[in-house]
Homo-oligomer: A and B are copies of this chain.
């Protein structure tokens, strides 16, 4: 099977243990996190061949990062080394009405200072079928946006499927251009788009004018004619430990609706959007064009992600199918 390629920044994730505040704890749990790496791990976890492309400095922290990706069977051969530092994400896990808090320290990271022509996309895409990127990459720096643009262009030329998670994060767009200026050109090269209501409104000015997401999807499709499918995830946040989670997938002119999961006792919701994206790509590649099944798989997989510590989803296809098939009782498996 041909490879799926994802590209983006991966950061050192330093988490306060349990529900401690960042100001309270005297140790940090160490892991790594990045939207596109998370997607790569999900895909590798389901057994697909996947290569992750990023730029990391040459130090032991990066070695540990690469080692972890290797452990999940993500191909790290094309990770380039250079730059001064790995970006950092400090995470404090909230509870009840105290929200979780993410503090980024990613400016001037090895990835943000990537050279525009340092990646040979033709070589990387040679044995690939799919390229996935997110709206975080072009937010980081002019150069990162340019490398992303070249990747999309090359992928289009070479006939890969291109998917994008819009992933709008207001606070990241600091280098002088706005998402509204940069994103449309990039999204225009995509076959599959994922986003949520806020993404569409903030980046493309497309509002959800009725209770379903149908209108949003239709407007997006009109605006980006290359796009064949659009997925919109929907989180209703009762409190920091309790969310409702569902999604829709618009394709072939219809809006498929997933079940809605009632997720209490959340273990870690960071990365759940990426686990949705990874599972959706897996479904689209594995379920014989059964878009409803792909959507349901993606929502079930990402519902399970809420029970997994760390950014990476670590559930098996069988576990996701069990939940899809209605077993949400949590009874002990012996």
Interface presence of A285 (CB below 8 A): no
- Contact stretch, chosen from A70-78, A178-186, A226-234, A289-297: A70-78
* Complex alpha-carbon distance, A94 and B334, angstroms: 12
Interface presence of A115 (CB below 8 A): no
Interface residues of A in 273-327 (CB under 8 A from B): 303-304, 306-310, 314-315, 319, 323, 327
Partner of A96, one of B20, B29, B171, B306: B306
In contact, B23 and A95 (Cβ under 8 angstroms): no
Closest to A19 in B: B267
* Complex alpha-carbon distance, A30 and B61, angstroms: 16
Interface size in chain A (residues, C-beta < 8 A): 82
* Complex alpha-carbon distance, A25 and B60, angstroms: 11
A100 contacts which chain B residues (CB < 8 A)? Answer: 330, 332-333
A95 contacts which chain B residues (CB < 8 A)? Answer: 265, 267, 307, 330
With A60-B103, A309-B19 as contacts: A266 and B96 at CB distance below 8 Å: yes
Q: Looking at A68, A85, A102, A104, which has the most chain B CB atoms within 10 Å of its CB?
A: A85
Determine the main DSSP class of A at the interface with B: loop
In contact, B70 and A22 (Cβ under 8 angstroms): no
A211 contacts which chain B residues (CB < 8 A)? Answer: none
* Complex alpha-carbon distance, A304 and B333, angstroms: 22
- Number of this chain's copies in the assembly equals 6
A88 contacts which chain B residues (CB < 8 A)? Answer: 88
Interface residues of A in 87-128 (CB under 8 A from B): 88, 90, 92, 94-105, 107-108
* Complex alpha-carbon distance, A123 and B319, angstroms: 34
What sequence of 0s and 1s flags, for each residue 123-140 of chain A, a beta carbon within 8 Å of any chain B beta carbon?
A: 000000000000000000
Q: Could you show 9 A-B contacts with beta carbons less than 8 Å apart?
A: A21-B308, A67-B72, A94-B330, A95-B265, A96-B330, A97-B327, A102-B334, A237-B331, A241-B264
New contact pairs (20) apart from A19-B307, A95-B267, A99-B329, CB-CB < 8 Å: A19-B309, A24-B309, A26-B26, A27-B29, A70-B73, A84-B105, A84-B107, A86-B105, A94-B307, A96-B330, A97-B261, A98-B315, A98-B319, A107-B108, A169-B334, A237-B331, A238-B329, A240-B307, A240-B331, A270-B332
